[in-house]
Amino acid sequence: QAEDGIRDARSSLVGSEMCIRDRAEPREGEALVKVHACGVCHTDLYTASGADPGGYTPCVLGHEGAGVVEAVGPGVTSVKPGDHVVTLFSPECGTCVHCTSGKTNLCMAIREEQGKGHLPDGTTRFSRDGEPLRHFMGTSTFSEYVVMPEIALANVRKDAAMEAICLLACGATTGLAAAMWKAEVEPGSTVAVFGAGMVGLGALLGAKMRGAERLIAVDLSPRRLELAERFGATDTIVAGDGGEVEKILEMTGGFGADFTFEATGLVSVMGQAVEAARMGWGLCTVLGVAGKGEKMEIVPRFLITGRRVQGGSFGGARGRTHVPQLVDLYAEGKLDLDGFVSHRITLDQVNHGFELMEKQDGIRSVILFD
């Protein structure tokens, strides 16, 4: 399935190269962005593989981008040509019922058309040989230029390296925000993170920044666990023998962790993250995306005895509000994003980026367009 996914991703990449010549200009409420850097995220391969229940073709993949605004359409006020921006698959209009509720980061303003691969007016700005190509997650950053809705662009400071801050468009923010703003990890608490990939490492770093005292990382790869220690893990557990929960209970006096985070997308691990949460008040935050038709099973007594479970799309971050704050922390030397960048590649090497991901070689490959 991974090989099929890579072949499908290659087809999408051809589309992105062609549509550079065929792109349309921004319309009402839109901006044209020249992409300078883009992370290669597992979600791109997940969709290309056919496992994504909401996937569609043909489309231009990519969603973890940073670039410079080249032009804007009528009515655009929050960005202007020359501004540096991070692309957002999770927009923030600030006026819909969800944005004004203060209870969620899931903006409803353009959700329906975005889910179809369209821009808000129901059309696309990409084409190949005169045929429309759909947008991916409203972003499609495996392209030198993208047209995006104004409300899906975070305006950020210009002195931050784009190869680092592009990771805040998805993976890094998902983990960081989940710990900092969704779960609101408390000082002195114990945290267990299942999965030491990009999202899991972000959760570790966010929990550390929130003042967690004990940080337990769980992963199949000893090499990934070494990276976890760099990002704050005080304890590590090599997974695979089925005893991960028991080890966490032993480390916590039999009670479990105050906060747990699942960052693998495996439903079996989601169940472990719930079980490893502390009896009485433990909070489990599920960040991974499961495959089509898969279901998470929870033993009822874990909930009856006080454990709580929540999801966290984009880690609960409100993109235009929180991403600039994270960029500021990075630029001020308070947030290590450079450590996430393990490989620098070009656009025509995107399939190599997927291969590195499958091999768990490094944390994140970043496409550089300049």
Which residues form the catalytic set? 41-43, 63-64, 93, 96, 99, 107, 111, 170, 364
Q: Which of these, 14, 44, 6, 35, lies nearest to 129 by C-alpha position?
A: 14
- Joined together, the tokens standing for residue 310 give 């929540």
Length reported for the chain: 370
Residue among 15, 276, 9 nearest 129 (CA): 15
Helical spans, DSSP H, in the chain: 2-22, 42-48, 97-101, 111-115, 162-165, 171-177, 198-209, 222-230, 244-251, 267-275, 300-304, 319-331, 350-358
Contact by Cβ (8 Å): 249, 276: yes
Q: How far apart are CA 175 and CA 199, in angstroms?
A: 5
Amino acid identity, position 264? T
HSE at residue 284, side-chain half, CA atoms within 13 A, is: 25
Query: Could you give the maximum distance between any two Cα atoms of the chain, in Å?
Result: 64
